Copies of this chain bind each other. A is one copy, B any other.
Amino acid sequence: MALRHAVLATLIDGPATGYELTKWFDAGVANFWHATRPQLYAELAKLEASGLVAGTEVVQQGRPNKRVMEITDAGIDALDEFARETSRPTAMKSDTLVKVRVLDVIDPTALHEELTSQLVVAVAKLEAFEAVEARMLRGRTHDEYLARARRVGPYLTLRLGIAREREYIAWLREVLDVIDRRRPSTVPPGHPIHPTLEVT
């Protein structure tokens, strides 16, 4: 029941269209919530009906018209109320972890490929996160930022996202290594089967 609040939390940073929200929530950019397009359009309609966001039709030339959504005062109140409710720890769900758990029982070829492609995605995501971090800090140190910045919430969630991504990358490399050692690689030397991208 928190998609509505995730949307409101995003609109705190400024108005956006359903299309823009789709990209933030669907792509890996959103490190705090995930949602699909139909969900977002449906949720925005409900939020508007209950007065928590206000939409404005913007007519464009050469492009389809768009509806820019803005959070209302009632919307901010709703966020405050949400923060008062207690929610219990987040539920973990990962297809990939299920597969790794049974890695000894199955043919690991396909799993190796999957982990490799996830490694590429994770490295790209980490780089994107670090770019956002640099843009936020603008030369300031971590401590300076926390002490002086007007808003620290987005920075703090980003920090967790970065830490998790780094760790996931290290773990993926370890698992790939284990698979390689257990099932001696059939790849000719000089052609590494998984990327050796450096994380700085």
Contact = CB atoms under 8 A, between A and B. Distances in A.
A63 interface: no
Contacts of A151: 104-105
When all copies of this chain in the complex are counted, the total is 2
Contacts of A45: none
Contact of A83 (B5, B82, B107, B147): B107
Contacts of A175: 156
A185 B34 CA distance: 34
Contact of A101 (B80, B95, B114, B153): B153
A101 B154 CA distance: 5
A54 interface: no
Contacts of A86: 110, 113-114, 117
Contacts of A117: 86
A150 interface: yes
Interface in A1-51: 2, 5-6, 8-9, 12, 28, 30-34
A135 interface: no
Interface in A180-194: 181-182
A136 interface: no
Interface in A86-135: 86-87, 89-108, 110-111, 113-114, 117-118, 121-122
